[in-house]
Structure 1
Amino acid sequence: MKRFFQALKRFFFPPSDTKVILRILPLITVAFLVILFFAIANYAWEESNSTSFCGLTCHTMPPEYITHQDSVHAVVSCEDCHMGRDRLYVMIGRKVRYSWQTGTAMLFNTYEYPIIAKNMAPARQACENCHKPETFSKDSLVEIKHYADDAANTLTYTYLVVKTGGGTSREGLGYGIHWHIENPVFYYATDREQQDIPYVVVENKDGTRTEYVDVESDFDPASVSSGQLVQMDCITCHNRTAHRIENPQSLVDSLLARGQISADIPGIKKKAVEILSVSYPSEKEALDAIASLEQFYQNSQADMEQVKSAIATLQTAYQRTHFPDQKVDWKTHPDNAQHVDSPGCFRCHDGKHLTKDNEAIRLECNLCHSIPVVSAQNEFITRLEISRGPEPSSHQDSNWINRH
């Protein structure tokens, strides 16, 4: 060992009479090692921030990984949302902190189920790297296909115009759903999932503040400081955009609409929803329950090849939307971008949040989208009424939708 260190010393600190090439060689070696170190560090950094590493190698989370792969943000890496984009030293600090949290959880088996993210990066460091809040989005027509729970799986269409909006008021815009992002809106939630919001504050252009309190909550605004308020951003509504799980009704409608399940199978919509709505102790029991559809249709007039195909499709769909081991399914996490399975917009727009002058946060169905119109399959023309009013004369008129 002593000889090794002596040789190493002679290599890096050669005598003055050594050949030039041998005196330069240590510098070349050091430069090579430095480049190699940074190359390995860069590869390790990029690899450890990849979706495959997070979801399959480090701390395996099937619900999060699978739903992410099926989402519109599948090409966005985990760290883009959960760590955000910032200066390198800030990112390294976050990586060390998160690695400690997940590392100790794996070592001591202290993972909570279902897993709930507690350290999401602010939207300005995550979402706004791709999406610009000041951008105005035009109204968009949405078509929703719905199959009835009857023998014919009767198809109907629901049409509505979604008023995404956004933009800035100085450009003559600043309305629609994305109005909330351009304007400072703060709120206080009493629960971790932010489903109970008794207090909302809006900062007006003139510097004044408008406070709304849920009159049924007995909440005292003086009980919280401004530091406890959360500013509304993209994730306030789009909280499940990368990990959304459809409810059984919507899931089966989608499979039927895409032709992955044949609508010619009598009553398949009703049977599929019934099976997927049950909470099974294990995945095996769920797959067996889905497979029982073959016996159910054995003596019917259904095409058995179509039934077998439907069974395979439903089993795959179940495996990508239900995770008994991690206690995750469509009921686990509320999706605040809609108001079907959870309050969503109605957390604040419920007619109960009033100012001290009894002025309510607006409650109108055509505030965010037009009044939905349902059309039968045999209707060649569907008429949508695009109305910009009548607007209430004051926010105190919180019963607009009832009068409509």
Structure 2
Amino acid sequence: MAENLPLEKKPAEEAETEPRLTWQEQVGLSWKTPMGLFGVALTTICFTLLILGLFAHMTGLIENHYAAIVTFLVFPAGVLFGLILIPVSFYLRRKRWFKNSLGKAFLIIDFSKKIHRRTVFLCLVLSVINLTIFALVIYEAYHFTESDFFCGAVCHTVMDPEYTAYQRSPHAKVGCVQCHIGSGAEWYVKAKLSGLRQVKAVLDGSYRTPIPAPVEHLRPARDTCEACHWPEKFHGKRTKQFISFSNDNQKDASIQEVALHIGGRNPYTDTFEGIHWHVSKDVKVEYQSLDNTRTAIGKIKVTKPNGITEEYEVPGGSEEPKEGEGVWRTMDCIDCHNRPTHVYENLSEKIDLGLYSKKINPDLPGIREDSFTVMQTAYTSREEAQEQIVEDLVTLQAKRNGDAFAKEHEAALITSGKYLLEAYLGNVWPDMKVTWGTYKGHNGHQDEADGYGCFRCHDDTHVTKFGKTISQSCDLCHDEPQ
């Protein structure tokens, strides 16, 4: 029978080889590594600058938007990164990744000791102060990320075309988030998650040029547009004026006026009429989009107030749409007003406006044709356009009318050239592949040849099984002013 051997005990000297450190010593030593020192320094510097920046912004001492980016995005990130490095350095020291690593003694807090109570109380007070400051920073950062500047100017190269068009639009005083996000937490979260994908695309250069339109996953217009615009409002008729010139006659304007049937709910008949009939709450219009630009329309369904649904389709159309096509959509405001804010100007209209306002001198022979030539030149960059447009216009006029003529009318040519340059810089970005006609509007039929406008549906081709078509009659939408 085997004898019971006594358990071996370690000598007292060997058991005490591992140092037993107090908790104050453990905390004090936790950051005394290159990583820990860097974390403490980064946290301290960023936190100090964060407090100064927050104070400056709240008191109005600093109103620079780029300073806000640093204050509300860069400094908080630096503070958080530094704070993360401190416990990481403590963990690595306990795992003996560094020389003179910590012993394995547990951290013990004894509230019967005065120094322990004071230290814990100090930590609690500092934590409350830190949380208060971070709450203010998060609040200010939230409002900053909702600002028009953050939406349009932070990613300058990508968003410059849209931001420029927005600033001159009828909605320039309406914040970006009011249309793109609206109220409520659900769409705020969706927008921010979508924003993360966009930030990634900007950082790795995978964004598309030009930016695709229409915008995908946009909140329904009834949740945003109708917060200000009320389809039930009766507008009746509104007169619109079209002014144009020709190369043969650049002095006498051709002016055409039409009375648009905006409509709405007529208070006298209590019926919806006019163009806004399409978005009446009593009518539901659905259509099948056959491409990403919504210019090719397949089937159309119209549900009327009496509950009857009419379905229109193009005879001989494809029964099975291709992959990615045939997406059904319920019609709302932006199906016609697809550029309600980011409005890019029409080249012909812009030049004719210059002639009509005399910003382009109509007395200069051939100035209209030469203006088109200059504006349609494929400059490699906006900087090159700034250097060349005025000079190119003078050169074309000199070739057309002679050097003596160009010299005599140099001031008028320079004034005209500056107007064209301003128009170019407001509508063309070669780096983003945005040029004249890149973004067209659906409200009207000026661009019907490219599939834009009312004639997508009102083509006299979409027909029901009973032979009823969607009319293309002009007087459905406008007539002569009275």
| Aligned position for 2:357 | 258
Contact kept? 1:336, 1:345, Cα under 8 Å? yes
> What one-letter code is carried by the residue in structure 2 that aligns with 1:78?
C
Tell me how far 1:36 sits from its aligned partner: 4.1
> What one-letter code is carried by the residue in structure 1 that aligns with 2:254?
T
Tell me how far 1:257 sits from its aligned partner: 2.8
Q: Secondary structure at the match of 1:126?
A: helix
| Aligned position for 1:199 | 299
Contact kept? 2:164, 2:426, Cα under 8 Å? yes
| Aligned position for 1:210 | 310
The correspondence of residues 27-106 of structure 1 with structure 2, limited to 5 A, is 30=128, 36-58=133-155, 60=157, 61-83=159-181, 85-87=182-184, 89-106=185-202
> What one-letter code is carried by the residue in structure 2 that aligns with 1:361?
I
Q: Which of the two has higher C-alpha Rg?
A: 2
The correspondence of residues 205-284 of structure 1 with structure 2, limited to 5 A, is 205-219=305-319, 228-284=327-383
The correspondence of residues 93-132 of structure 1 with structure 2, limited to 5 A, is 93-116=189-212, 117-132=215-230
Identity level (%): 30
361, 367, 370: which is aligned to 2:476?
Answer: 367
RMSD of Structure 2 on Structure 1 (CA): 2.9
| Aligned position for 2:49 | none
335, 341, 347: which is aligned to 2:447?
Answer: 341
> What one-letter code is carried by the residue in structure 1 that aligns with 2:149?
S
Q: Secondary structure at the match of 2:271?
A: coil
CA distance in 2, matches of 1:338, 1:278: 28
Any unmatched runs of 5+ in structure 2?
1-22, 29-108, 110-115
Q: Does 1:10 align with 2:121?
A: yes
The correspondence of residues 311-350 of structure 1 with structure 2, limited to 5 A, is 311-342=417-448, 343-350=452-459
Question: What's the TM-score, normalizing by structure 1?
Answer: 0.79
| Aligned position for 1:299 | 404
| Aligned position for 2:414 | 308
Question: What's the TM-score, normalizing by structure 2?
Answer: 0.67
Cα distance change, pair 121–168 in 1 and its aligned pair in 2 (3 A): farther
Most deviating of 227-236 and 188-197: 227-236
CA distance in 1, matches of 2:376, 2:426: 14
> What one-letter code is carried by the residue in structure 1 that aligns with 2:359?
Q
Tell me how far 1:281 sits from its aligned partner: 3.5
Contact kept? 2:251, 2:355, Cα under 8 Å? no
Tell me how far 1:280 sits from its aligned partner: 3.6
**Deviations along 1:149-203, whole A, 9 cap, x unmatched?**
1264321211111111122799623111110010210001010000000111001
CA distance in 2, matches of 1:168, 1:220: 41
CA distance in 2, matches of 1:243, 1:8: 58
CA distance in 2, matches of 1:8, 1:106: 46
Q: Secondary structure at the match of 1:139?
A: strand
Contact kept? 1:245, 1:329, Cα under 8 Å? no
Cα distance change, pair 119–248 in 1 and its aligned pair in 2 (3 A): same
CA distance in 2, matches of 1:54, 1:8: 44
Tell me how far 1:263 sits from its aligned partner: 2.5
**Deviations along 1:15-68, whole A, 9 cap, x unmatched?**
xxxxxxxxxxx59x84x6665444322221121121111111146411111111
CA distance in 2, matches of 1:340, 1:359: 26
Greater relative contact order (Cα < 8 A, sep 6+): 1
**Deviations along 1:306-365, whole A, 9 cap, x unmatched?**
111111111111111111110012322231112112430000000000000110012111
Contact kept? 2:172, 2:341, Cα under 8 Å? yes
CA distance in 1, matches of 2:160, 2:123: 51
Contact kept? 1:247, 1:330, Cα under 8 Å? yes
Q: Secondary structure at the match of 1:353?
A: coil
Most deviating of 353-362 and 143-152: 143-152
| Aligned position for 1:187 | 287
Tell me how far 1:113 sits from its aligned partner: 0.6
CA distance in 2, matches of 1:169, 1:356: 35
Q: Which has the higher helix share?
A: 2
> What one-letter code is carried by the residue in structure 2 that aligns with 1:130?
C
Any unmatched runs of 5+ in structure 1?
14-25, 372-383, 387-404
Contact kept? 1:59, 1:102, Cα under 8 Å? no
Tell me how far 1:107 sits from its aligned partner: 2.4
> What one-letter code is carried by the residue in structure 2 that aligns with 1:137?
H
Q: Secondary structure at the match of 1:314?
A: helix
Q: Secondary structure at the match of 2:438?
A: coil
CA distance in 2, matches of 1:167, 1:40: 48
> What one-letter code is carried by the residue in structure 1 that aligns with 2:421?
Q
Cα distance change, pair 56–216 in 1 and its aligned pair in 2 (3 A): same
Contact kept? 2:238, 2:259, Cα under 8 Å? yes
Contact kept? 2:295, 2:456, Cα under 8 Å? yes
